[in-house]
Structure 1
């Protein structure tokens, strides 16, 4: 089982990065599609027609971003750190995993919010007027790339921390005529 997990690690990291890169590209393409629509601007207000193409691309970017996050968190396992003391006593792999997990969640919340706002603004069937929000898709798309980097760091750190804990457990297991099953 451990050998299979070792072989699957690079594949999972590659899958996570590809999903986040595609989500970022779709977010940027959604911005391009949105910019092709007619709009009128007056100071910080603008009126523009929604783009169904931007809506589809933004929705696909949201789905891929969320899916990449779920895959990394499920396959990476739980890296639980309950206090600052425990964090400082932890191995460097566990510290990297915990920090990467926190940053990936923060980036997910911001990127997902931006992509959803851009997608929802393009879901209406008629022209809308309001505050200018031109770069939601681009910023969300760029954050998808950063999100992928933190997810890969989390997955690698969590896998290494789990391997360290398994190694420590094997070393501390009592030897005797009836060894405990692993």
Structure 2
């Protein structure tokens, strides 16, 4: 099994380290939880107090994802990411574009959600973030639409990302998936 080391020639790690892997999967599972929470809340009557509680958790977890995603991006900027496993040029281009988009979207989705909440004149109760602005229904509506649209785009890019990882694992039979799934390393 290869350990995470810095290559002296380009200062890139040979694989993702434990923190990068932890942040990757924390974000992945948090995004799934956010989706489940908002879908469940949407199935409840607007007057149901449980809906308010669930949306409070959705908002708080969204802000946490924003912070963790920013930390992940900072970590990659400081530590670097391993080079891509050699692949056809088009595959490498798709990988670079999809990774860049994922990082951007992982900031944009929660940032637009937080902006929507603040524009609606609300705060994030569970994190102690008070309402910062007077409610602006038009801005909140626009941000709501943006938040949902950005999330749908994120789902599409995540789908491409997952398809690429599975393609590498089951068709290329290379080490790509093992970089984020430690028990596959060396197989």
Name the TM-score, length of structure 1 as normaliser: 0.46
Name the TM-score, length of structure 2 as normaliser: 0.45
Larger radius of gyration: 1
Q: Which has the higher contact order (CA 8 A, sep 6+)?
A: 1
